[in-house]
Structure formats: structure tokens, C-alpha cells
Amino acid sequence: MEDSREELQPQVPPPAEPEPEDTAPSETPSADETSAAPDYVRMTLDAGVPPLEMRFSQINHCYRRLPIAYRSFTYINSVIDGVIPPEKYSFAADGSDRGLRIAKWNLVQAMKAVRKFEEAGRHVEFVTARCPASLALEPDLYGWVKTLMDENGFHTPEKLCIEFPRTLLFKDEETVRTSVLSMKLLKVRTMLSGCGEKDCPITLLLNIPVDLVLLAPWVSAMADSRNKGAAVAALLAFLRSLPCEVVGDGLYNDQQISVFSRAECFGYIPSSGYNGVVSHGRLRMPLDEAIAQKEEEEF
């Protein structure tokens, strides 16, 4: 007798939400991760990237403990799921053309931010623009960035800093090295984020001369550890000897800040749980709020 029952269709699990950048084992999305990206992210990015909002986190001088530079973060304002931070969409965007489109938007907005700081009489060393590691594989990165600066009338390249994720170190080494060196010729700074993560081969920095590294929060937080403090100090000494400027990310007390100050690091970003004596601004603030912050008059 023929079985007329319909075959049960397998249940497809909902797409997994990408992990935040600081805790994810890797920032390079696989094909499965990209295809499983939430639909609202894909729809928003494919629509031409707006509406986007850039926020800024202060990078403070280790000794004076006042803002000297700013790290930018681009948020997607989705009518479907509200405000989406970059940690939520970076997996879906960084390995695709969408990531390059957002990188272009980030660079233009960082240029505009530098100009607004200057118009307000604020001196900042630089403003970062987050870009995917794949940008370093562009055949003519020098020309790509220079054209972008020329189109936007930007004449202070030393105040622009391209922030690459740590997966930059897993791309073709010679191509990346050439791109980083070309940015030095253009006087645009480069920064590697997530330095010190378990999957970050920092010895490759011997051949890839980025200008700055952003130390992973969990490593920065061990700066004043009784058991691990010496190891962190040795890591800072190694990075400084490359030579490379170091920014500590996620510091939560004054003892940790002092460690970075003694190592002559560039600066630090406080954590949300900072409990020291310094009064910092919000971790991620609008540009107008960043411009209104107190600054150090001399660097």
C-alpha cells in the first residue's frame, strides 16, 4: 500500500547572531556566516548604507589623561531592529563589497570629523575610520585613498587613521606590507585593533609596520595583575620597540593607566567599568559632544 503521508521537511534553525568583535575568535566571516547574516543587515547595507551614524570614543593621553584622538564607530539605524553597533554586523560586512562601501563612508565621515574639530579650534592627533582587512588587498590603495581625500578636499592626511581588524595579519603578507607602506607615503596612519588576542600573530608586525596597535581589552586589563603584569609590560616593550605606538583598550583603574604611561604608550580608552579618579566622557558619543570635551593644550 502506497504511503500517502507527506514527508516531513527538516527544520531550518534561525541564523546565528554574529559575536561581538572583542570576543569573537576571528573577524573574517566564512561563507556560511555571511549567508546567515540577519536580513535586516543585508537589506540596510544593500540599500546604499544609509541611515548610518558615527560615534566617537576618546583616546586619552596616558599621563595627562585628557583626550588627544578619537576612535570612531559606525552604527546602523534600522527600522526593523533599532540601533545596530558595528560588532553586530562586522561579520556580514567585512568580507564583502558591503564592507568596502561602509569603509568608504567611514573614511569620508572621519575626514569630516577632523575638519569639524579644526573649525572648533580643537587639536586632535587623529580620528580613526574602521575598514575591513580586505581593503589592504586593493591593487592601488594609495590611489584609492588619495582620490577619496581629493574628492573631499581633505588636506591633513596625518590626522586620518585607518583602523584594520587583526585579521589583516592573515592576508597576503607582502601585499599588506606594501599597502601599509603606501599609507605612510600618503601620511595616513594605520592601526591594528585586537592586538594580543589569541589568534593574533603579533610577530608578523615585524614585517607589517602599522603605526599603532590597539591592545585587546582583556590583555589591557591584566596590566596591573600580580601574576601577569610583567608579561603585559614585556608585550608593551616589544610593541614599542618595533617601533609602534600602543593604545590600551578597556582600562578600568588608574594603576593600569600608570603601567601604560611608564611604557610610554600613546594613550588609552577607558572601560565602561572604570573606577578611577578621572572623569571621562561617554564611551561612544556623538561628534558634537566629543568636540565639546576638554583637551590638552600642548602635546
Ramachandran region of residue 68, left (φ > 0), alpha (ψ -120 to 50) or beta?
alpha
- How does pLDDT run across 230-268, given as a tens digit for each residue? 999 999 999 999 999 999 999 999 999 999 999 999 999
Whether the CB-CB separation of 135 and 163 falls below 8 Å is answered with no
| C-alpha span between 123 and 147 (Å, rounded) | 25
Q: Can you give the pLDDT at residue 29?
A: 39
DSSP H or E segment with residue 247: strand 245-251
Q: Can you give the pLDDT at residue 43?
A: 60
From the CB of residue 235, how many other CB atoms can be counted at a distance below 10 Å? 20
pLDDT for residue 60 is more than 50: yes
Q: Can you give the pLDDT at residue 44?
A: 56
| Prediction pTM value | 0.81
- How does pLDDT run across 124-137, given as a tens digit for each residue? 999 999 999 999 99
Residue type, 54: M
Please give the angle made by the CA atoms of 4, 6 and 7, to the nearest 5 degrees.
125
Q: From start to end of 14-62, where are the E strands?
A: 52-60
- Long-range contacts of 32-38, Cβ-Cβ distance < 8 Å, separation of 24 or more: 33/91, 33/92, 34/91, 34/92, 34/95, 34/96, 37/89, 37/91, 37/92, 38/81, 38/92
Whether the CB-CB separation of 125 and 68 falls below 8 Å is answered with yes
| C-alpha span between 235 and 200 (Å, rounded) | 13
Q: Looking at the domain 52-291, which fold is it?
A: TIM Barrel (3.20.20)
